[in-house]
Chains A and B, each alone.
Chain A
């Protein structure tokens, strides 16, 4: 059973703003029966056509999809269109006290519906999401054919939510969740987005105390090495440090991987490069 917060349960059991607005100013629709979830969002504006005075929804989907839709309508009521457009999927999740990572795509669906509704109202290009088929297509190359998701959309979600693994991208967008054929491409997009962020070049310190050496080893493993392993579904755990000997245990996909010896070598080289030349990495069972 999912570990839903009390607020998710409450918004699922007693969703706010269910229904339609017959004379809505804007309607945004995303998702489909095939996808397993869909949201139709109705927005009514004030007389000045600037501020949202009412929002209603219809949702086909699981408990968190319904709760996310309910939360979205509560968040955007009273906001101007520009304020509403700035709503992120994380805000929807936060409003609900959090969502299981596997269900984050429900919050993204809410954000998507809002974008579509406002884009249609303003007459600009309408972003395309999932396989719901809008007339105007967001520029970009389709990466996930199963769910019809473009590289532009995926890069946006990766950057906004600071996603580092293909699995996380699947949880947030569904991309890669069906046939899995696009997972290598998703990994490339993650590297592209992460690579685009400015990173400070780290230099190996000239002299280290024992304590500082241990701290630096831990820091390098956490910041430089583990994120790279996560991207391939793997992980490692630091077991012990004795002088220059670093004992690690591989976890997840790295555990029992045929090439874990190469990975251990890579960890050693990286630590030698960033911490000290004499480091020896040893793989242990732990």
Chain B
């Protein structure tokens, strides 16, 4: 059975070229970059090269790049730094559709006395900038708004958000979780209002266990990982050198593949979307009217439940994801779909396909062939689906 992997917003395959770049740094070039001898020095040079490559993809300076372990660490580091720098400010703004890395932290901080505003989204997953404008004040320590949503792919107007934060926040920091956006859409930090930005390596064909926090030059920063002097005192701990080197290569490749992502990959996504809507009645796109990442399709099928669809697809070798409650063990469907007001009839049966440059037209054809019978089979089994089919 050929495996068709369309869950790239969860994690990606490590590019062979990325793996080859990191391979020597395990058993041969294993020096500690902090060491004073030549053996560590050659690794330090390669880490510097990786830092340059990451900075190039972001349109940033190398000294603005801090290597971390993952996107979650980067998000935590940014928000925790902001509240330490501004101890007198007790207000945090985020959105209802953030990744748990941000949302859980903010909700925990609210239990410690912080006022947390979670901005709403409309039915298409878009932010209301007027709500943001009304919320930001001089008590706001940080505004953390994701660049693109992991479930729907909806892209937020980050530069407009940043302008509002700078204008009304009078010193409030602006952080964006760009884990899903980096490598998929162009980002230029030199011309941006963003103070801090999070990246995760495994979302762009680097390995798991490596992340980046971009910290704009001049933005005061308080590390929550302390110890040695690595990363210019911004993140203690011996560098994960092989993964850093891999991430550098992955960023270089992401820049080269960006056009493909926005043309060929997008065309495959659009074909999948249009055909499934045609073939499967009572289906709808979550966030379909909003600007979205070129690789993401969140599609809902009424009267059926997501986990059951995923398991039947898995039997056919197709790997996707679901916004349904049952896949996560929680009882409510995805907080993103609920925040968008997606009706329960659709939220429980939502499936996310997230493509990468490694997907092919053949993959799309297979899904178009296999998915409609799966939905029909489950609808025939469902009391609500049967009512619909009989009507």
Contacts and interface: CB of A to CB of B under 8 A. Distances in A.
Given A34-B344, A60-B303, A62-B326, A178 B331 contact: yes
Interface string A48-73: 00000000001111111110000000
Interface stretch (A35-43, A86-94, A119-127, A227-235): A35-43
A63 B332 CA distance: 17
A60 B386 CA distance: 10
Interface stretch (A11-19, A74-82, A192-200): A11-19
Interface in A206-265: none
Contact of B305 (A20, A40, A60, A102): A60
A170 interface: yes
B226 interface: no
Interface stretch (B202-210, B229-237, B291-299, B376-384): B376-384
Interface string A161-180: 00000000010001001100
A59 B381 contact: yes
A174 B332 CA distance: 10
Contacts of A29: 383
Nearest to B331: A177
B214 to A, nearest CB: 30
Nearest to B385: A60
Given A36-B331, A170-B331, A177-B330, A13 B315 contact: yes
Given A15-B381, A178-B331, A60 B326 contact: no
Contacts of A174: 331
A36 B384 contact: no
Nearest to B314: A1
Interface residues of B, number: 28
B348 A102 contact: no
Interface in B313-354: 315, 324-327, 329-333, 344-345, 348
A66 B308 contact: yes
A102 B329 contact: yes
Contacts of A61: 305, 308, 326
Interface in A22-38: 29, 33-34, 36-38
Contacts of B303: 33, 60
B375 to A, nearest CB: 13
Given A37-B305, A61-B305, A12 B381 contact: no
Contacts of A102: 329
B348 A36 contact: yes
A286 to B, nearest CB: 22
Contacts of B308: 12, 61-63, 66
B69 interface: no
Contacts of B325: 36
B279 interface: no
Of the listed residues B303, B305, B324, B386, the one surrounded by the most CB atoms of chain A closer than 10 A to its CB is B305
Interface of B is mostly: helix
Contact of B382 (A58, A103, A177): A58
A222 B103 CA distance: 35
Contacts of A66: 308, 381
B351 to A, nearest CB: 13
Contacts of B385: 60
B305 A178 contact: no
B132 interface: no
Interface string B356-391: 000000000000000000000000111111100000
B383 A38 contact: yes
A33 B348 contact: yes
Contacts of B348: 33, 36
B254 interface: no
Contacts of A100: 329
A36 B382 contact: no
B309 to A, nearest CB: 10
A58 B381 contact: yes
Nearest to B346: A33
Contacts of A36: 305, 324-326, 331, 333, 344, 348
Contacts of B386: 20, 58
Contacts of B324: 36, 62
Nearest to A101: B329
B304 interface: yes
B338 to A, nearest CB: 10
B73 interface: no
Nearest to A20: B386
A174 B312 CA distance: 25
B311 interface: yes
A285 B326 CA distance: 35
Contacts of A37: 305, 326
Contacts of A103: 326
A12 B326 CA distance: 15
Contacts of A60: 303-305, 381-385
A100 B305 CA distance: 18
B307 interface: yes
Nearest to A34: B344
Contacts of B305: 36-37, 60-62, 65
A40 B332 contact: no
Contacts of A147: 331
Contacts of B312: 13
Nearest to B315: A13
B342 to A, nearest CB: 12
A178 B383 contact: no
Closest 10 CB pairs of A and B: A177-B331, A62-B326, A60-B382, A62-B307, A102-B329, A58-B383, A40-B383, A34-B344, A36-B348, A63-B311
Given A33-B344, A100-B329, A147-B331, 16 more contacts: A15-B381, A18-B381, A20-B386, A29-B383, A36-B333, A37-B305, A40-B383, A58-B386, A60-B382, A61-B308, A61-B326, A62-B305, A63-B307, A64-B326, A178-B331, A178-B332
26 contacts: A12-B311, A13-B312, A13-B315, A33-B345, A36-B325, A36-B326, A36-B348, A38-B384, A39-B383, A40-B383, A58-B382, A59-B383, A60-B381, A60-B382, A60-B384, A61-B305, A62-B306, A62-B307, A62-B308, A62-B324, A63-B307, A63-B308, A63-B311, A177-B330, A177-B331, A178-B331
